[in-house]
Structure 1
């Protein structure tokens, strides 16, 4: 099974590695400061692997600077992230989920990668 989305270009920055955890997610609802992410509906086979990737993403997000809280609801297959839009551009989330290597998405991956190294 192939992933539901992939990055258009091969990443050269190690922090972009965190984006591979996000490819299993879709934006369900987003207002600046609050985003609800859902597990991609295409994920039926390999669900356990997809959930493991999402849990790693949530773990990194929960300690990243600028993120206020992260709630994971496995039953609903969703994740709610509350963040400071003054520190994290709202477009960073949609770009990250889409695999778009914008400056905002790269800045977000640096935050996520830095926090995941600290919590490792």
Structure 2
């Protein structure tokens, strides 16, 4: 399983295609990243982290469109947290969201150890 920081650094290559409170669609447009799409096993791990993250209600991945749509509880994950985390901004919302993601990642990684 890749280090959490590797996954975190990859967020800079993802863009928000559409976002309304409670629903966000993320898209990968970076040709370099698309050319190096991880295998299904690694994608399944990333999906598992997102699906188990508190506040995430549902996740749909569309590999052909290079996008995923998440429905989330805006009371748990604030609207601004998505853009702040993806944009690499050091805000309280981004830090709380990253803490949630890291806790789930560490739990899943512990199961695989």
Change (3 A) 1:30 1:46: closer
- Secondary structure of residue in 2 paired with 1:52: coil
Give the CA deviation at 1:21: 3.0
Which TM-score applies when normalising by structure 2?
A: 0.79
Which TM-score applies when normalising by structure 1?
A: 0.75
- Secondary structure of residue in 1 paired with 2:31: coil
Distance in 1 (CA, whole Å) between partners of 2:73 and 2:13 is 23
- Establish whether residue 112 from structure 1 lines up as the match of residue 98 from structure 2: no
Distance in 2 (CA, whole Å) between partners of 1:76 and 1:114 is 29
Give the corresponding residue for 1:58.
47
Q: Is the 8 A contact 2:16 2:27 kept in 1?
A: yes
Higher relative contact order (CA 8 A, sep 6+): 1
* Mapping of residues 1-20 of structure 1, within 5 Å: 17=5, 18-20=7-9
Question: How many pairs align?
Answer: 103
Q: Is the 8 A contact 1:63 1:116 kept in 2?
A: no
**If each structure's helix is expressed as a fraction of its own residues, which one has the higher value?**
2
Query: Unpaired segments of 5 or more residues in structure 2?
Result: none
